[in-house]
Structure 1
Amino acid sequence: MADPAILTHSLTKKYGAVTAVHEMDLEVKTGEVFGFLGPNGAGKSTTIRTLLDQIRPTVGSATILGLDSHTDSLAIRRRVGYVPGDLALYPNLTGRETIRYFARLRGGVEQAVVDELAQRLQADLTKKVKDYSTGNRQKIGLIQAFMHRPELLILDEPNAGLDPLMQQEFLTLLAEARERGSTVFLSSHTLSEVERIADRVGIIRDGRLIVVERIDDLKRKAVRRLDFEFAQPLAADTFAGVTGVREVTVDGTHVHISYEGPVTDVLRAATTYEVLNLTSREEDLEEIFLAYYRGDEADAVGEASASQAESTNHVR
């Protein structure tokens, strides 16, 4: 059985009194696309920099491709493609010179692969880096990350500045990498960027990994909504106690219901009255993601404990 692509044990990073990453236990399977989600400042980039030995953990450890992230950091970097969240390139080099520089650091790469990536991303390699837009600099970062066909891609907000067409091409590149057996660790603050490609997602809040879920399981948790229009006004407690109902808003003849699970009991209660109109909609996954950032800190800690126990059983 293959080693996990990424495995952390109680990974913690503190800056004085501030804990940027708190006792993170995470396992990313070989060959999967894993979305690492959280808003700016949640601890995503600190986690990545710690994994890549750019900074040292205060407590805990990590292995990448079965190797110790600190003692084997050089060997790891040969096998990893990385796009940092704060991509910095030499401003007076052209895009082509930049790619050649990174290629030499890696001991050489196939020029045909570089040319194909540049064509697919519509990257003009003749301009100097200082003359690039944010999106065009990001294309150079993506080329250098993909060009040696690494076993593991670690990508921190890689879509920054890319137009929708290039974002779609980027997702295609990720799908192809997965088909080759590569693992992708994709950090983002937007669930919609990763939901079409990720197998699983982990959500980080204030440095804590609060949940790890398969995308399909996350979708099944989506709260559905029904909007009724009745022939007559209903009392506010009409749907009280109905199985699955989470929230009811009554505005005269209009009733808005949020529910989980089968709709049978909701419809049975509603059709005892004359229904003039009915519409149904599902909660966007982005709302589910944002829901993990609502509520008080005690709820977050409770979620973390329960989710970690459950995710450990799923992941291992």
Structure 2
Amino acid sequence: MSTPTARGSRAENAPAIQTRGLTKRFGRTTAVKDLSLEVRPGEVFGFLGPNGAGKSTKIRMLLGFIRPSSGTARVFSDDARDVRRAHRHLAYVPADVALWPALTGAEILELLARVGPGSDTTYRDELVDRFELELGKRGKAYSTGNRQKVALVAAFSTRAPLLVLDEPTSGLDPLMEREFRRCVAEARDRGQTVFLSSHQLAEVEAVCDRVAILRAGHLAEVASIPELRRLRRTDVEVSFDGVAPDVSGLPGIHDVELLDGTGMRFSLTGPPGPALRVLAASDVTAFQMREPSLEEIFLDYYGDAVR
């Protein structure tokens, strides 16, 4: 969960996360292969991939819980293998939160606040109310969702320059997911970096500045949400009077389908200019373009294996 924070000049000037050729092998299985990426200070960075893609392995190496087979991982210039130094810069929320069973929620939050000198107790109390967290219960009595809330309140109330969140909303209901998104935005506004590992695509699409897509241990793409969308198709549907516009054969046009003689549907990749010029010369009565969701982009990368 939350750990102490230190914001020195090195932390402020260096990338929040930097990996170079990061590789982890378990016997003959390569969980992460030659992973190189850089997360800028102050951004919300999404790390996407289905179960088995290597997300958790990468995070465990970043946190120094396991050693890479080769390559390096750094947290604000500190080698991730030096856990004492690297953890001064970050707060961590695991996918499966374990709490001290005999301590109450209030005692757990107080303990974590004392471990990290950067904790904002006023903001922490506000988050307790917003997440509707019952502090009088002991850790062993908390549900999965409430354990997650304790970890999130502890992490967001620190002033650690880096928040590492691994599937942080898996036990939350939709209202609490909305609060989580607010907290991410507030962390960004304070200049904190958020590294969010998730398979909930709507969540990533809503809060992230950039996204990395991990496929079978390999980095498939790193881009902003708009950049990812531009890499993929746009679905176009038009209605017309008279002769159907002839867009077949134009660059970037795919899957042309006529609809009852008065409509047309097709997919467009790349610049829309050629298609728009043909449509403008026809008697088009209605025109609709739909950008793909992040989920559709994600499925394009993984194909039928994810479906």
State how 1:11-22 maps to structure 2 within 5 Å: 11-22=22-33
Which digits, 9 at most, give the CA deviation of each residue in 1:140-194, with x for residues without a partner? Answer: 0101212221111000011112222222222222222222221111111123212
Contact conserved, 2:91 with 2:155, CA < 8 A, in 1?
yes
TM-score between both structures, scaled by the size of structure 1: 0.83
After superposition, the Cα gap between the structure-2 partners of 1:284 and 1:148, relative to the gap in structure 1 and judged at 3 Å, is closer
Amino acid at match of 2:265: H
Match for residue 172 of structure 2 among 157, 162, 178: 162
Whether 1:284 aligns to 2:293 is yes
Q: Partners in 2 of 1:277 and 1:135 — Cα distance?
A: 47
**More displaced 10-residue stretch of structure 1: 207-216 or 172-181:** 172-181
Say whether 1:294 aligns with 2:297: no
Q: Output the aligned Cα RMSD.
A: 2.6
Identity of matched residues, %: 47
Deviation at 1:231, TM superposition (A): 6.1
Q: Distance in 2 between matches of 1:271 and 1:113?
A: 55
| 1:86 match | 96
Q: Distance in 1 between matches of 2:196 and 2:118?
A: 25
Amino acid of the structure 1 residue aligned with 2:150? I
Partner of 1:246: 254
Of the three residues 103, 112, 125, the one matched with 1:102 is 112
**Against the structure 1 CA distance between its residues 239 and 110, is the aligned structure 2 distance closer, same or farther, given a 3 Å change threshold?**
closer
Deviation at 1:97, TM superposition (A): 2.2
Tell me the equivalent position of 2:19.
Answer: 8
Could you tell me which runs of 5 or more consecutive residues in structure 1 were left unpaired when the two chains were aligned: 297-316
Gaps of 5+ in 2: 1-11
Deviations 1:7-51 (A, max 9, x none): 111111111111111110111111111111111221111100110
The alignment partner of 1:256 has SS state of: strand
Equivalent residues in 2 for 1:54-203, closer than 5 Å: 54-70=65-81, 72-106=82-116, 109-203=119-213
Q: Which residue of structure 2 lines up, in the alignment, with residue 40 of structure 1?
A: 51
C-alpha separation in 1, matches of 2:69 and 2:191: 33
> For 1:277-304, what per-residue CA distance to the aligned partner results, in whole angstroms no more than 9, with x for missing partners?
54432222221122111289xxxxxxxx
Is the Cα contact below 8 Å between 2:43 and 2:188 reproduced in 1?
A: yes
| Distance (Å, rounded) in 2 between the aligned partners of 1:66 and 1:271 | 55
